[in-house]
Structure 1
Amino acid sequence: MSLSRLFPHPMLSVLLTVIWLLMVNAPSVGHLVLGAFFGWGIALLCSGFMLEVPRLRRPLRLCRYLLMVLWDIVIANLHVARLVLGPTRKLRPAFVEVPMDIDNEFILSVLACILSLTPGTVSSGLSNDHKTLLLHGLDVPDDQELITELKARYEAPLMEIFECSRT
């Protein structure tokens, strides 16, 4: 059995061990051994469910991207508050199928989470071939405009930040 199969996610094991030591709040050799065992065991049991994370190509761009996403969340909160407190007849909810260029499952998950974190949009599903993301928007005046904005603002930068190919 290879070392990588025995210790599939060493950083996760270390992180879980540290979390265990912080939770018990009584550092001792016994707790360190128990935390290390739990960290190793959990990582080993979950290794079949873990997605492969592509290599980070542009870390500074990632920081800028995260700040942009946080800003978008704040602005979307204000926009949704205005929509919800205003007349409901102005709402134009819709389901939109967004074609995906990303082929990496981890990056698709990140994108779906970002879109769901932004108030007013919820990722509702992903097609079996992972080529189409079903998105629900609270206020969608034009489907194609929304698709173009999401692909340019969220999908394209993720593909630039991480090493993932276009389909």
Structure 2
Amino acid sequence: MAFQIIINLIIAVLWMFLSESYAIPSFITGFIFGILLLFLMRRFISGEFYFIKVVNIFKLIFIFIKEVIISNIDMLKYIYSPKKTAEPGIFELPLDVKSNWEISILAGLISLTPGTLSVAVSDDNQSLFIHAMNIDDVNKSITEIKTTFERMIMEVTR
């Protein structure tokens, strides 16, 4: 993947030199042509096409922003409701992510989402303990985290 990024940057710089325009728009144009050229030549270059990972990173960022907005709305509903019926608790999330890097990203994203907090990781790195402000259904919470954050983290890192 790093090789593909370097090739793409070289193509962008060569495009600037060949067009004799040393401005940022010329570099961006060359970079886009480099992406297209690498996409067309992907069968001759080892590894997965790197721009797929870039798209997955943007998807992860979009999902995180969406979850933060939804969580903020839920917290506002709780704060302004006259009847406070929160059921806080800690639940165990079995992990599909394995590396320390992936677990750290998942724990950070969970902690940054309002109403949830990553408490601890088990000694064998097989589960993550999460404190939630309102736990209606533990299985639903586990499924939501697995289908949003954990799935996208695995698409980005693997």
Match of 1:117 among 105, 109, 112: 112
Q: Could you give the per-residue CA deviations for residues 59-105 of structure 1, whole angstroms, max 9, x where no partner exists? A: 11111210120121122112112112224542111111000011110
Q: 1:98 to 1:56 in 2, by over 3 A?
A: farther
Q: 1:57 to 1:125 in 2, by over 3 A?
A: farther
Equivalent residues in 2 for 1:15-26 (5 A)?
none
Match of 2:153 among 154, 158, 165: 158
Q: 1:56 to 1:159 in 2, by over 3 A?
A: farther
Match of 1:102 among 77, 97, 102: 97
Q: 1:87 to 1:93 in 2, by over 3 A?
A: farther
Give yes or no for contact 2:59–2:152 (8 Å, CA) kept in 1.
no
TM-score, with length taken from structure 1: 0.61
Structure 2 unaligned spans of 5+: 1-49
TM-score, with length taken from structure 2: 0.64
Match of 1:48 in 2: none
Are 2:97 and 1:92 equivalent residues in the alignment? no
What is the Cα deviation at residue 57 of structure 1?
6.4
Letter in 1 for 2:128: L
Larger Rg, first or second structure (1 or 2): 2
Q: 1:138 to 1:130 in 2, by over 3 A?
A: same
Match of 2:24 in 1: none
Match of 1:128 in 2: 123
Match of 2:72 in 1: 77
Q: Could you give the per-residue CA deviations for residues 12-58 of structure 1, whole angstroms, max 9, x where no partner exists? A: xxxxxxxxxxxxxxxxxxxxxxxxxxxxxxxxxxxxxxxxxxx9962
Match of 1:64 among 44, 59, 65: 59
Equivalent pairs, count: 109
Letter in 1 for 2:79: V
Q: 1:126 to 1:83 in 2, by over 3 A?
A: same
Give yes or no for contact 2:64–2:109 (8 Å, CA) kept in 1.
yes
Runs of 4+ in 1 over 2 A off after TM superposition: none
Give yes or no for contact 2:91–2:131 (8 Å, CA) kept in 1.
yes
CA-based RMSD: 1.8
